[in-house]
């Protein structure tokens, strides 16, 4: 009996998987479970244009109602998967309904990591539309905003809050924010950029805990008191210092949504473990932020929380469901917008690679960093240099395609 394809998760990756299946000629039944009550929407603008009000919610939508209807799918909004049995190929949802499948696409994404206790009013995370709406109301001129975590999301929020007139402090445990991701030169430039706009960045320290107005400083926190009406006023740092604050944004990374896969037969280790084709089982696949697949070029497991990867991986899985055996070998690509600066990165930055900085000079707000290993380009970063980045990105794409073709052959 044919049960069709079941997609769990209806964000960018889930939508792309459904559309790619139909576009590739898949005519079987299609069922989608969506944990949210919204049609799929774009998440990257949540930390930027949506917070400032320059991008309204309607412009975040990734698909119109007619485009959703064209999927010819049964969509259950506000419904999460709670269990999977790969032996009988069935997913149980939060309503207790069982969904049999021939192919399962896992697209459940990630959720923000939390502080041990962040129940105080004024403490926020930023992952979905509801998070962004709650935070947007708090970012006003003169407000003291503390961002815990100096990664891409944390620095984007800091830039946005500062542009809205808030006084922003970033708390980051490493000596130089994002140096591991973008290299020391670019990380120093980012630090200087934020400092020039008035952002205070405290490095080599972390948040020990957040403190509410009703808590007496120096009194041990037991967690037994009712904090429903309390609001955050301070952040205590591990170096002993205190940051007075009105708003806290916690941006300390994410956790893949895989709890529902416990005892399912699908292997979970920092995401859904897949082979090079993004297959997690005989009839199970994973896409987007939750997928950890063996990247052929890197020859290592990789999990990417990048917007473009969601689209590319979903299209690849659709081809796999329809019979392709090719490995998924994309050029990783991400970007971030902070103040007047766009940073784009393609490829990898191995620890052993040498870096060449091209075009940077006093007064020039544009440059490229090229990483090479054994004379071969492995990665490239552009700082306000979209056009200059493209030849390197094409070079990487050509080499990756040739590598994937050779592997299949």
pLDDT tens for the chain, 409 residues long, are 578 999 999 999 999 999 999 999 999 999 999 999 989 999 999 999 999 999 999 999 999 999 999 999 999 999 999 999 999 999 999 999 999 999 999 999 999 999 887 789 999 999 999 999 999 999 999 999 999 999 999 999 999 999 999 999 999 999 999 999 999 999 999 999 999 999 999 999 999 999 999 875 443 343 444 445 689 999 999 999 999 999 999 999 999 999 999 999 999 999 999 999 999 999 999 999 999 999 999 889 999 999 999 999 999 999 999 999 999 999 999 999 999 999 999 999 999 999 999 988 777 899 999 999 999 999 999 999 999 999 999 999 999 987 766 555 4
Predicted confidence (pLDDT) per residue in 256-290, tens digit: 999 999 999 999 999 999 999 999 999 999 999 99
pLDDT of res. 139 = 95
pLDDT of res. 192 = 96
pLDDT of res. 408 = 52
Task: Please tell me the distance from the alpha carbon of residue 339 to that of residue 359, in angstroms, as a whole number.
Answer: 21
What is the model's pTM? 0.93
pLDDT of res. 220 = 37
Task: Please tell me the distance from the alpha carbon of residue 73 to that of residue 103, in angstroms, as a whole number.
Answer: 14
pLDDT of res. 226 = 45
Tokens 């292997």, residue located? 267
Task: Please tell me the distance from the alpha carbon of residue 284 to that of residue 312, in angstroms, as a whole number.
Answer: 18
For the chain, which domains are there?
A: 5-111+254-321 (3.50.50.60), 114-250 (3.50.50.60), 340-408 (3.30.390.30)
pLDDT of res. 227 = 44
Query: What are 232's strand-pairing partners?
Result: 212
pLDDT of res. 360 = 84
pLDDT of res. 1 = 59
Q: Which residues contact 15 (CB under 8 A, 6 or more apart)?
A: 40, 62, 63, 314
Predicted confidence (pLDDT) per residue in 315-353, tens digit: 999 999 999 999 999 999 999 999 999 999 999 999 999
Backbone φ and ψ of 380, nearest 5°: -150, 140
């Amino acid at each position: 009996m044919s049960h069709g394809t079941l997609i769990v998760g209806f964000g960018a990756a889930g939508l792309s998987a459904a559309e790619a299946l139909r576009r590739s000629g898949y005519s079987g039944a299609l069922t989608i479970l969506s944990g949210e009550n919204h049609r799929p929407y774009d998440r990257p603008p949540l930390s930027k244009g949506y917070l400032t009000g320059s991008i309204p919610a309607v412009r975040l939508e990734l698909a119109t109602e007619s485009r959703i209807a064209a999927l010819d799918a049964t969509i259950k909004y506000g419904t999460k998967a709670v269990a999977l049995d790969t032996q009988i190929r069935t997913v149980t949802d939060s309503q207790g309904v069982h969904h049999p499948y021939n192919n399962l696409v896992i697209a459940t994404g990630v959720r923000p990591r939390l502080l041990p206790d962040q129940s105080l009013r004024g403490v926020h995370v930023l992952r979905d539309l509801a998070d962004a709406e709650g935070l947007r109301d708090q970012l006003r001129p003169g407000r003291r905003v503390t961002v815990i975590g100096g990664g891409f999301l944390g620095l984007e929020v800091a830039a946005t809050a500062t542009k809205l007139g808030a006084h922003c402090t970033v708390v980051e445990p490493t000596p130089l924010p994002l140096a591991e991701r973008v290299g020391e030169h670019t990380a120093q430039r980012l630090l200087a950029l934020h400092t020039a706009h008035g952002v205070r960045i405290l490095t080599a320290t972390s948040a020990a805990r957040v403190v509410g107005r009703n808590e007496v400083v120096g009194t041990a926190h037991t967690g037994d008191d009712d904090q429903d009406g309390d609001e955050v006023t301070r952040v205590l740092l591990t170096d002993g210092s205190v940051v007075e604050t009105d708003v806290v944004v916690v941006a300390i990374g994410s956790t893949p949504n895989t709890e529902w896969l416990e005892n399912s037969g699908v292997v979970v280790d920092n995401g859904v473990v897949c082979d090079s084709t993004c297959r997690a089982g005989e009839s199970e696949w994973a896409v987007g932020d939750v997928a950890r697949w063996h990247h052929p070029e890197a020859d290592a497991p990789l999990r990417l929380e990048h917007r473009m990867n969601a689209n590319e991986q979903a299209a690849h899985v659709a081809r796999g469901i329809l019979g392709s055996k090719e490995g998924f070998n994309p050029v990783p690509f991400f970007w971030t917008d902070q103040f007047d600066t766009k940073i784009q990165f393609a490829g990898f930055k191995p620890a052993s690679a040498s870096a060449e900085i091209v075009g940077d000079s006093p007064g020039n707000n544009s440059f490229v960093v090229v990483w090479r290993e054994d004379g071969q380009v492995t990665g490239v970063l552009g700082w306000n240099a979209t056009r200059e980045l493209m030849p390197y990105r094409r070079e990487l794409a050509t080499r990756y395609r040739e590598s994937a073709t050779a592997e299949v052959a």
